[in-house]
Amino acid sequence: MLPLAYLRENPDLIKEGLTKRNFLQLDLIDQLLDADQNRRSLQGQLDETLSKSNQLAKEIGTLFKSGQTEKANALKGQTADLKTAGKALQEELQNIEVTLLSLRTQIPNVPDESVPSGNSEDDNEEIFSAGSIPDLEENALPHWELATQYDLIDFDLGSKITGAGFPVYKGKGAKLQRSLIQYFLDKNTAAGYTEFQVPHLVNEDSGFGTGQLPDKEGQMYHVPEDGLYLIPTAEVPLTNLFRNQLLEAKDLPICLTGYTPCFRREAGSYGANVRGLNRLHQFDKVELVKWTHPKDSFEELEKLRIDAEGLLQKLGLPYRVLLICSGDIGFPHSKQYDLEVWAAGQKRWLEVSSCSNFTDFQARRANIRFRGESGKPEPVHTLNGSALAIPRVLAAILENNLQEDGTVLVPPCLKKWFSKETIGEKS
């Protein structure tokens, strides 16, 4: 959430930033400021009422002690009126606080000034690319055909067990999936991230802390009996490890990594863009999360992105880095990079990571603070990035590493998990 003081002092600047991201509900800013003014006025009235009530109580006590019972009893009626008025003001304040919170949760983060203006994904800027795009000509095959041909993934079996979007990995397909998870975790920990294993279900407070709730509940699997949600990403439980905590500046940045399955109720359209592993309801992902000092967060974002890129470089996959424009950036994001790999069988780019700086947007929701130089608590800045999303990386390996004989070359960095250098050997 945006800080109230910042909203009060910079309404025009915030409106300008939100206009840049094509946020059209600018009237929410005015509604919020009106509600905040009302809240402060009510708080002033309540404080004055409570002060009068306390003063009157003291006066009544003094009168009783001095034997002026009649005067004391006469004043009791006034205290009753003040208590009634105070109770009414408290109820109004509670209602206005609910309104304020509702309004604040509807307002997205303001894009950093380095974010390019744009309306959609078509306006995202490619800032870097690496690797050679393979020219497989007529030999190119999409991963779902290769996975079926070599019995690596069974999409129909997953549909029978659960439904579409829940694949079953088999044999070398399962091993490839497992080796990618292990390799990413090992590289991340070697880069200074501490590995955590976290729950795959979170409560409503955790979902609110990272910004999935209340506006994205339709995209999450819900267990209403227990008030829990299946996680859409490890970012949610990892970030909430420090919810309602006060950190020390000397401990920042704190860098964690973790593997989890991810669950998303994404409405699936039909066609090649969502075939195979392109879009799933359950998939595996390794995540990076950072808590940083505000002055260092954008520098730490660049480091996080480089760490994620390093994994793609080790795998030998052609990839590109996109700086996401203001019209395509996520709701809580201040700045966002997407990493995409080339899928030769589909002849298209697949997103495998988003690396983002949320500034203090999540920290204010989750109440994650650190003791600043002044000694006063301040919100940290939170960052996260995928390192990496497993299914699309697996898809890119199958499609890009296809050999003339029809086998798939195992990336050198994963060979220790395989007895042969290729997958899909002909008998």
| Structure confidence by residue, pLDDT tens digits, 73-120 | 878 888 888 889 999 999 999 999 999 999 999 999 999 999 999 999
Residue with tokens 């590289």: 187
pLDDT tens digit sequence for 283-325: 999 999 999 999 999 999 999 999 999 999 999 999 999 999 9
Helix and strand counts by DSSP (H, E) for the chain: 12, 18
Residue ranges in 106-217 assigned as alpha helix (H): 143-149, 155-161, 171-190, 204-210
- Sequence-distant (6+) residues with CB within 8 A of 51 are none
Q: What percent of the chain has pLDDT over 70?
A: 98
Grouping H, G, I as helix, E, B as strand and the rest as coil, residue 360 is coil
pLDDT tens digit sequence for 328-366: 999 999 999 999 999 999 999 999 999 999 999 999 999
- Sequence-distant (6+) residues with CB within 8 A of 37 are none
Q: Give the distance between the most distant pair of CA atoms in the chain.
A: 109
Alpha carbons 332 and 334: distance in angstroms, whole number: 7
CA atoms within 13 A on the CB side of 375: 0
Alpha carbons 261 and 200: distance in angstroms, whole number: 7
The structural domains of the chain, ordered by start, are: 4-105 (1.10.287.40), 121-423 (3.30.930.10)
